[in-house]
Amino acid sequence: MRIVTGEEMASVEAITMNKIGLPGVVLMENAGREIARKLIEQYGDKRYLIVIGAGNNGGDGFAVARMLMEQGITVMTCIIPDESRFVGDAKQHKRIYEQSGYRWKYWHDIEHEWLEMLCDLDVIVDAMIGTGIKGALKDPYPAIIKKLNRSQKEIVSIDLPSGVPADETAIAHEAVYAAKTYSLQLMKLSYFLEATKPFYGEMEVLPIGVPPATFKHLEKQRCVWGEEEVFHSWFTSSSFAHKGNNGRVGIIAGNDNMPGAASLVTTAAVQSGAGLLTVGTTRPVIQAIATHVKEAMFTTLSANQEGLLAPTEKELFAFYENKTVVTIGPGVGRGEHVKDMVLHAITHFNGPLILDADALRVVADCLDSIRKRKEPLIITPHPGEMGMLTGYEVEQIKQRRFEIAEAFARENGIYVVLKGPHTIVAMPDGFLTVNMSGNEGLAKGGSGDVLTGMITALVTRQKTQVALSTSVYLHGYAADLYKKEGWSTESITPSHLIAKLPDAFKVVTSKS
């Protein structure tokens, strides 16, 4: 499923109408039929108020109103702008509605009896503004939206909650708080932003007949990554595989005071199928974790007086030998020692390199070397770390996560796993996936270490894009499985996630 901005949706619709020859009024008819069907399925023959704006979103509203009324359902249809403002497909659907014998009223004529009206209706259908919103909301919409939001009635928005843009534009005005949003044909980008997702309520995408052939014209390719995508993209290892085929993985993690991070990343990598795994860390960390990560091999790397890893060049070269992937970061601590180690790996390790946690703090200083690198480089920042890398405030990162992740990946030729609700994976070629699993139970220290371990194991056996997107999905899905079993999200720990990976991985071979 693609994810689009309003402009992108309009371009896909324009191709549908102008090149393919499917008229806009037909798409609107399809939208109306799908939404009316859903409403009847959901609410039966309850009483509806349909609030209509002058654009094509309003046109959808007329189509829905007519189809509900054809079923004998009680509908009050009201329009906000003067009727002369309706043009094109919306005007056509207004005419079809009228010529079918149905009536509408002006919002300003019924506004004074709003409270009495509320007693006679159950569901409000918001067909005021969709993808066509421009700038700050103008009168009379803010006052109307406030009234609708306070009505305590179930609000169902068509395509978008009115007032919410489809893209990453920040809003400082009123917007409809919908209980449900029926997005037309494709997902809209604002659904995946912390600031705007709450307006959508439950979101469902309804098909309106836009042919998939039009999607290839989209300049930016963004897709959701859910169970279907995980299942269909998975490459199954040959039954003749031996441990060498499943990756010779090297993880540099931990310091004397943080053995836990090294343990989590390693255990997660083992549980995700890493073939041969070597952990490079300090001697005290090895002593602390070796007994409970039995599958791993260990290499002692030099440490400084503070117990932080400070491997020599010779040790690093020896560590890279025969490794198909190297990961650096979890629990390595902060300081100059990290920069030396990271820069060395960027320059001298000729395979996929994953940088996480403390290693991310030095990435901004290594960008010149990163751009020269040929093999994949993967970074896994949360918004705070992404802020350090790019110079943006955390709030800016959250508001413009698509734009910032995509630009950083493209400009530096790297893979960016920008963590958070709906983690984004941005590829160097501009392709981007958005994760559909996970819950609040993941927001804990150590959860990122588990994800990094999973990525480390999968990168050796799947296409890089698939390895990243699927690791993120399965990591979130493991947390979802606990929630399904009735666990409170407070109780889900990173160690629990690892314990649940065998169940989570079932998704790659069979669909539920």
Ligand X SMILES: NC(=O)C1=CN([C@@H]2O[C@H](COP(=O)(O)OP(=O)(O)OC[C@H]3O[C@@H](n4cnc5c(N)ncnc54)[C@H](O)[C@@H]3O)[C@@H](O)[C@H]2O)[C@@H](O)CC1
Binding residues vs ligand X (CB under 6 A): 13, 24, 27-28, 31, 53-60, 89, 129-138, 141, 158-159, 184, 208
Instruction: Tell me how far, at minimum, the Cβ of 164 lies from K ion, in Å.
Output: 8
Residues paired with residue 299 on neighbouring β-strands, in sequence order: 280
Per-residue HEC secondary structure of 114-125 comes to: HHHHHHCCCEEE
Residue 448, annotated as binding a ligand: yes
- CB nearer K ion, residue 31 or residue 357: 31
Q: Using CA atoms, how far apart are residues 365 and 476, in angstroms rounded to an integer?
A: 31
Q: Are 159 and 184 in contact (CB under 8 A)?
A: yes
58 contact partners, CB below 8 Å, separation of at least 6: 52, 79, 86, 90, 94, 127, 128
What residues line the site for K ion (CB under 5 A)?
57, 126, 130, 157-158, 162
Residue 483, annotated as binding a ligand: no
Residue 449 binds which of ligand X, K ion, none (CB < 5-8 A, kind-dependent): none
Q: Fill in the amino acid letter for 324.
A: T
Q: Are 272 and 504 in contact (CB under 8 A)?
A: no
- CB nearer ligand X, residue 8 or residue 159: 159
Instruction: Tell me how far, at minimum, the Cβ of 132 lies from K ion, in Å.
Output: 10
- CB nearer K ion, residue 80 or residue 426: 80
Residue nearest to K ion (CB): 162
- CB nearer K ion, residue 57 or residue 465: 57
- CB nearer K ion, residue 158 or residue 427: 158
Residue 422, annotated as binding a ligand: yes
Residue 56 binds which of ligand X, K ion, none (CB < 5-8 A, kind-dependent): ligand X
Residue 68 binds which of ligand X, K ion, none (CB < 5-8 A, kind-dependent): none
- CB nearer ligand X, residue 55 or residue 331: 55
From residue 292, alpha-carbon distances to 90, 262, 287 in Å are 66, 12, 10
DSSP E strands, 320-447 = 325-328, 353-355, 377-379, 415-418, 424-426, 432-435
Instruction: Tell me how far, at minimum, the Cβ of 432 lies from ligand X, in Å.
Output: 22
Instruction: Tell me how far, at minimum, the Cβ of 505 lies from K ion, in Å.
Output: 40
Of 437, 493, 498, 439, the C-alpha closest to 470 is: 437
Residue 179, annotated as binding a ligand: no
Residue 59, annotated as binding a ligand: yes
- CB nearer ligand X, residue 61 or residue 387: 61
- CB nearer ligand X, residue 130 or residue 250: 130
3-state secondary structure of 246: coil
Residue 126 binds which of K ion, ligand X, none (CB < 5-8 A, kind-dependent): K ion
Residue 208 binds which of ligand X, K ion, none (CB < 5-8 A, kind-dependent): ligand X
Token readout for 435 is 């994760």
- CB nearer K ion, residue 130 or residue 494: 130
Residue 352 binds which of ligand X, K ion, none (CB < 5-8 A, kind-dependent): none
Instruction: Tell me how far, at minimum, the Cβ of 445 lies from ligand X, in Å.
Output: 41
Residue 415, annotated as binding a ligand: no
Instruction: Tell me how far, at minimum, the Cβ of 42 lies from K ion, in Å.
Output: 17
Residue 135, annotated as binding a ligand: yes
Burial of 28 (0-12, 13-18, 19+ CB in 10 A): buried
Residue 135 binds which of ligand X, K ion, none (CB < 5-8 A, kind-dependent): ligand X
Residue 141 binds which of ligand X, K ion, none (CB < 5-8 A, kind-dependent): ligand X
Instruction: Tell me how far, at minimum, the Cβ of 158 lies from K ion, in Å.
Output: 5
Residue 50 binds which of K ion, ligand X, none (CB < 5-8 A, kind-dependent): none
Residue 421, annotated as binding a ligand: yes
Of 348, 359, 334, 335, the C-alpha closest to 251 is: 359
Q: Fill in the amino acid letter for 316.
A: L
Q: Fill in the amino acid letter for 455.
A: I
Residue 108, annotated as binding a ligand: no
- CB nearer K ion, residue 164 or residue 478: 164
Q: Give just the sign of the alpha carbon dihedral 395, 397, 403, 407.
A: positive
Residue 423, annotated as binding a ligand: yes
Given phi > 0 = left and psi -120 to 50 = alpha, else beta, which region is 430?
left
Residue 382, annotated as binding a ligand: yes
Instruction: Tell me how far, at minimum, the Cβ of 214 lies from K ion, in Å.
Output: 22
Residue 157 binds which of ligand X, K ion, none (CB < 5-8 A, kind-dependent): K ion
Planar angle of CA 508, 509, 511, nearest 5 degrees: 85
Q: Using CA atoms, how far apart are residues 85 and 366, in angstroms rounded to an integer?
A: 56
From residue 322, alpha-carbon distances to 271, 279, 463, 470 in Å are 21, 14, 20, 25
Residue 419, annotated as binding a ligand: yes
Residue 420, annotated as binding a ligand: yes
Instruction: Tell me how far, at minimum, the Cβ of 10 lies from ligand X, in Å.
Output: 6
Token readout for 421 is 């609700």
DSSP string, 27-96: HHHHHHHHHHHHHHHHHTT--EEEEE-SSHHHHHHHHHHHHHHHTT--EEEEESS-GGG--HHHHHHHHH
**How many C-beta neighbours within 10 Å does residue 240 have?**
6
Instruction: Tell me how far, at minimum, the Cβ of 152 lies from K ion, in Å.
Output: 19
Q: Give the residue ranges of the annotated binding site for AMP.
A: 419-423, 448
Q: Give the residue ranges of the annotated binding site for (6S)-NADPHX.
A: 56-60, 130-136, 141, 159, 261, 331, 382, 449
Q: Give the residue ranges of the annotated binding site.
A: 56-60, 126, 130-136, 141, 159, 162, 261, 331, 382, 419-423, 448-449
